[in-house]
Chain A
Amino acid sequence: MSATPGSSMRTPRRRVAGLGSARSGTGHFWLQRVTALANLLLILIALPIVIWAAGQEQAQTLAILGHPLVAIVLLLLIFSVCFHMRIGMQVVIEDYVPAEGMKVLALIANTFFTIAVGSAGAFAVLKISFGG
């Protein structure tokens, strides 16, 4: 990071290949769209199922959530949502956290949080499915 404007050691090509402040170019923009569409479709399928399963006796809820087709939908939903919200929150952090150190910490916390939530959800669905 050169302090004096115009005296950067980086070539114009390198500056482009640096892919901007997010360092991921348009890749994340596209993934945000793909996961958004996946979220939308999966939520439309999962919402009625969740409403049906919620508020029942535990055995009933487990039977519904443990059905292979339901479990697969829920797993896909959890994966898609957590991916989508990780890159979405990354944009928010890049917009509002200017200090480089804090930004990196926030981005790491974002990764930890989304992977932890996703893994916990996936574990629960698998445990229910496999009847443990």
Chain B
Amino acid sequence: MAGAAERPLSPHLQIYRPMLTMMMSIVHRITGVALYLGTPLLVAWLLAAASSERAFTFVNGLYGSWIGLLLLVGYSWALIHHALGGIRHFVWDTGAGFGPGPRELFAKLTIGGSIALTGVLWIVIWLVKG
């Protein structure tokens, strides 16, 4: 890269002490990638519904299984965590919330909120669907 040697390099990740805010940043990326890989699951369901009764029953069987439900719970948690992380980014984009106090609070709200909301979601699902 032109001029690359003139710029100082930023110290790399492993020299920092792990902190909650840093973990949340990494988890936002990991959940983003997990959701990326998960979208074909939603599309598979839509395609199966559009295709035939056999395909639909097959995919329904997959999602109705233990592993399938585990996948759905994991997917919903990733989605909620990533969405809360995204909202946190929206707040930062306004220039607010960069102080040590708010940063730490946001981190705790993201992780706590995502677990709580995922729990509420599946309790509601369980109540509605039986």
Contacts and interface: CB of A to CB of B under 8 A. Distances in A.
Contacts of B57: 58
B2 A89 contact: no
B90 A33 contact: yes
Interface in A61-86: 61-62, 65, 74, 78, 81-82, 85
Nearest to A61: B49
A109 B50 CA distance: 26
Interface residues of A, number: 39
Interface residues of B, number: 36
A69 B36 CA distance: 25
B49 A43 contact: no
Contacts of B5: 5
A127 B52 CA distance: 12
The B interface is mostly helix, strand or loop, or mixed, namely: helix
Contact of B49 (A5, A8, A33, A128): A128
The A interface is mostly helix, strand or loop, or mixed, namely: helix
Interface in A106-132: 117, 120-121, 123-125, 127-128, 132
A78 B128 CA distance: 26
B2 A15 contact: yes
Given A36-B86, A85-B39, A124 B46 contact: yes
B87 interface: yes
